[in-house]
Structure 1
């Protein structure tokens, strides 16, 4: 089974698509006709997933966890009940804020820390990033131990709910743009970044 068939099985578990039987049992179909019938079947089945037609539903931690599972990402729930996971070796959390938990925030943390002496230059880097790009918001935090951590953040108000496709797009946006920021930091600060300049 090809890629489309595998995707269809993932999107509609337990559901088997059956092409209408060809006239004469299929013996009289040439390769072009058979290809056209398979393409029509895939368009019918996969078209439903692209224009999902599903009504927007509230975002819940369970929906985010299901998305993580479906995409074969590892995740965890910490002691505070927050959902997190690793993406390309970087730690990301998925928060729901607001009166009705309608604001989805994907927050990432660069996997390295900087010396406090680099705070001014990393703040300049974050400000430049924020001026040039929409996502993610970049900022630095100074921890109690005096080390500087860089954080990425993408937040979206989903007061009216979200479809599965939209949720997937928001989550991938938070993860991929956060990774772009962290890749830029890796380039700017090759190891060892934790020492003073």
Structure 2
């Protein structure tokens, strides 16, 4: 990336006549005959840089998100992960199963999808739908919904999806992944409170 001083030099170089006229009108007592045009340009550029500041290039540049980057994030944070038979990346977070999907024509949409570790009977479908709707009405993340399996059992799902068309820095990717995992876990904690495990309570 070109420095601010270099850009200022180029800007000044486009106006040689104005610079020459300014030099010609300068009082003889202050004019420095030994100063070349390049030196004058450098002097003005340094003055502008000192007054306006120099923009430093960003070290952490957004780059496309890939399963490899997500897996590296999991490893760096000491989370266990796996790749299933379909090639999808998944992992366990606080005993709950989460998957990490990339959708879209350019695989630019990152989705963190969690599944509650227990199933619910079909007879409770309406009340679970009400619970999901209440959650979605009060909170941005995660989106909560249910899936009814062929065997009639109900699975409850959390989902956080983010469009990363322009890529993401490591810190941005980390924030999205933590958001999907932590908010999904909060929703599942609420389900645990609503439907306590009989084995976890005294008879």
TM-score using structure 1 length: 0.71
Tell me what 1:176 maps to: 182
* Runs of 4+ more than 4 Å apart: none
Tell me what 2:127 maps to: 121
Establish whether residue 137 from structure 1 lines up as the match of residue 136 from structure 2.
Answer: no
Q: Shift in Å at residue 53 of structure 1?
A: 2.8
C-alpha distance in 2 between matches for 1:191 and 1:171? 28
- Write the mapping of 1:48-59 to structure 2, written as runs, cut at 5 A: 53-59=59-65
C-alpha distance in 2 between matches for 1:134 and 1:192? 31
Unaligned runs of 5+ in 1: 1-51
- Write the mapping of 1:1-197 to structure 2, written as runs, cut at 5 A: 53-192=59-198
Q: Aligned pair count?
A: 143
Spell out, residue by residue over 1:22-51, the C-alpha distance to the aligned partner (whole angstroms, 9 max, x if none).
Answer: xxxxxxxxxxxxxxxxxxxxxxxxxxxxxx
Q: Shift in Å at residue 192 of structure 1?
A: 4.1
C-alpha distance in 1 between matches for 2:130 and 2:147? 13
Unaligned runs of 5+ in 2: 1-57
Tell me what 2:48 maps to: none
C-alpha distance in 2 between matches for 1:53 and 1:127? 42
Tell me what 2:12 maps to: none
Task: Report the structure number with the largest CA radius of gyration.
Answer: 2
